[in-house]
Structure 1
């Protein structure tokens, strides 16, 4: 295919990636990597290029979601910083594991996460000691407070710490899927509504993607920057639209869509893993 055709395909794919990241808080890297491979990039090039796409797109989506009141910035930054440490360790460990095994592990993880979210949605459980005020989420029981006196719900803080570390480890170990891990973690560990989990996850993804990209600097892997730029621009534009769409959609519909997307990715990844293992 000629370069103009490849760029056109990259724009279309980028639009879908942006909508997924903006509306659902996930799906960027798991979509960007196979798209770049399909456009002729090697696995290492695709992974590096996807980090650029996802970091920029997530940042744009996070800004839009924050303006709409769907981001818990402090928790997102804290979660992202903790997850970053795990991601570095996971990335180092992944180098000793065959790619087919990584794919199989990712498929199993997604099946479990998708199943848990589907069951949770079916039961109609809504978490929450939280309510909206002027369109924003108000947390009635903060995990840590410093004023007027210091107070800490340490068991809950430990739960968040462990969850963020595990998410970072799995993200670094598997290479892709940050959003698919972060959103369920925020849903299950912090009991956030889906729109806030999706918005806050964009902050986490932007941090971890930027750090992972910085860690790859100087590794000698250079993707086709024209294709990466086309993907990035298209996904950034539609991420803003996706984040605005998430603010208008019914949260139950959004939860169902996310669970379905996780299960679809799991099935796709399982097929790739079986092909590689056979």
Structure 2
């Protein structure tokens, strides 16, 4: 299969995951770029940030049209991750490639484990009350949540985005549900705002590495991902979120095992 076809197929899968789950697709983008398209780990993380930024902004627009984004709280959450994302992005180019690969494998395995667990939305009384009443907590104080905890979580997601080139949506969604007491629909939409902001901040520190991006591969990958994100949002309305998460988690565990084996050999 040609590099173009591989890029189109991989991009579609990444977009589907981002559109349907509000995150997780970027965890597949990096291994796809490395093992299917021949990128180095450092180049793959930079290319992934470009793909994730464009796709997340597209998916964010789709969710915003249906009122699924909590702009004020999402902006505060994302703002906490701006500096960590920029700092980690600058440091990533100095790390050995096996270290980046191993770190990514660990994060992918952790993401899969989170997805295999029951959704926190079903266990959150606050989110249940919010969904039933139609109200949506718009800031940490309104939810009775400690602002320091929200800021700390946002900073951690920013650092993860900058270092490994992942949007962090697989962590942002449960964090928004449990830390800010969002209902799941708002958490998915708002996570895309967090992903987009962190990815842009990290890209701003990678000017030298973005100059060497193979646009012949990245451009069609990104285009397919953007189209896939729209299909993913429609898919989420037809298939249960639990099924989508578990199926994706199984794929992610296999990817994590492959990358960890590659890093230690």
The answer, yes or no, to whether TM exceeds 0.5 is yes
Tell me which residue corresponds to 2:191. Answer: 201
2:130 maps to 1:130? yes
Tell me which residue corresponds to 1:149. Answer: none
Normalising by structure 1, we get a TM-score of 0.79
Tell me which residue corresponds to 2:217. Answer: 227
**SS where residue 138 of structure 1 aligns?**
coil
Quote the Cα distance in structure 2 between the aligned partners of 1:111 and 1:11.
25
2:33 maps to 1:36? yes
CA pair 95-203 structure 1, distance change in 2 beyond 3 A: same
2:202 maps to 1:212? yes
Select the structure that is richer in strand: 1
Max Rg structure: 1
Q: Which runs of 5+ in 2 are unaligned?
A: none
Quote the Cα distance in structure 2 between the aligned partners of 1:56 and 1:182.
18
2:5 maps to 1:18? no
Quote the Cα distance in structure 2 between the aligned partners of 1:141 and 1:222.
41
Normalising by structure 2, we get a TM-score of 0.83
Q: How does 1:248-263 map to 2 (within 5 A)?
A: 248-249=237-238, 253-262=240-249
Contact 1:113 1:184 survives alignment (8 Å): no
* Residue among 1, 6, 30 paired with 1:9: 6
CA pair 46-105 structure 1, distance change in 2 beyond 3 A: closer
Contact 1:53 1:228 survives alignment (8 Å): yes
2:166 maps to 1:176? yes
Quote the Cα distance in structure 2 between the aligned partners of 1:186 and 1:144.
13
Tell me which residue corresponds to 2:147. Answer: 157
Q: Which runs of 5+ in 1 are unaligned?
A: 146-151
2:264 maps to 1:274? no
Quote the Cα distance in structure 2 between the aligned partners of 1:45 and 1:105.
15
Contact 1:107 1:267 survives alignment (8 Å): no
Equivalent pairs counted in the alignment come to 262
- Tell me the alpha carbon deviations over residues 202-228 of structure 1, each in whole angstroms, 9 at most, x when there is no partner: 111111112212211134641221221
CA pair 69-50 structure 1, distance change in 2 beyond 3 A: same
**SS where residue 223 of structure 1 aligns?**
coil
Superposition deviation, residue 176 in structure 1: 2.7
Tell me which residue corresponds to 1:53. Answer: 51
CA pair 201-255 structure 1, distance change in 2 beyond 3 A: farther
- RMSD (Å) for aligned C-alpha atoms: 3.0
CA pair 174-52 structure 1, distance change in 2 beyond 3 A: closer
Contact 2:18 2:59 survives alignment (8 Å): yes
Superposition deviation, residue 31 in structure 1: 2.0
Superposition deviation, residue 60 in structure 1: 0.6
